[in-house]
Amino acid sequence: MIRGQCLCGAVQYQVHREIEMSILCFCQDCRQAQGSVFAWNSPIPKQNFQLLQGADFLKEYFHTHQKARVFCMNCASPIYSYRLDLPDILRLRLGIVIEGDIPAPIEFAYTENQPHFLCVAAE
């Protein structure tokens, strides 16, 4: 099980299953959305996600018309993303997980954008 919450604490969730895999994404959209050099994500079945509080704080932003990036409208923490054509899969943003174990990333996307001072993923 993992628990996550946004920076201000308004949005809190838990996932009852173990997180099986995680991904680092260096794409430009993720970098700008997170304000960081990569996003650390895990795709999970939506049915495993339980919002504990904060439904009223969730805001969706569509930078591309298929993909919603969902964040806390109070503190701007990214919570998850999903695609309209894959509505049953949520891609959690793992930086906001505060409890539970997350496996090391096994997939690395858009590593050509990886800055040279980082060496987490081979190109």
Query: Could you tell me the smallest distance in angstroms from the CB atom of residue 57 to Zn ion?
Result: 6
Closer to Zn ion at the Cβ: 47 or 76?
76
Query: Could you tell me the smallest distance in angstroms from the CB atom of residue 47 to Zn ion?
Result: 24
Closer to Zn ion at the Cβ: 47 or 115?
115
Query: Could you tell me the smallest distance in angstroms from the CB atom of residue 75 to Zn ion?
Result: 3
Query: Could you tell me the smallest distance in angstroms from the CB atom of residue 31 to Zn ion?
Result: 8
Closer to Zn ion at the Cβ: 1 or 76?
76
Closer to Zn ion at the Cβ: 27 or 37?
27
Q: How far is CA 96 from the centre of its chain?
A: 8
Look up residue 11 and give its DSSP letter: -
Structure-token pair, residue 31? 């970098």
Name the one residue in this structure whose structure tokens are 């050099």: 37
Instruction: Give whole-number Cα distances, 74 to 36, 58, 64, 101, 107, in Å.
Output: 19, 9, 23, 27, 31
Interface ranges with Zn ion (CB under 5 A): 6, 8, 10, 25, 27, 30, 72, 74-75
Contacts of 38 (CB under 8 A, 6+ apart): 24, 25, 26, 30, 31, 114, 120
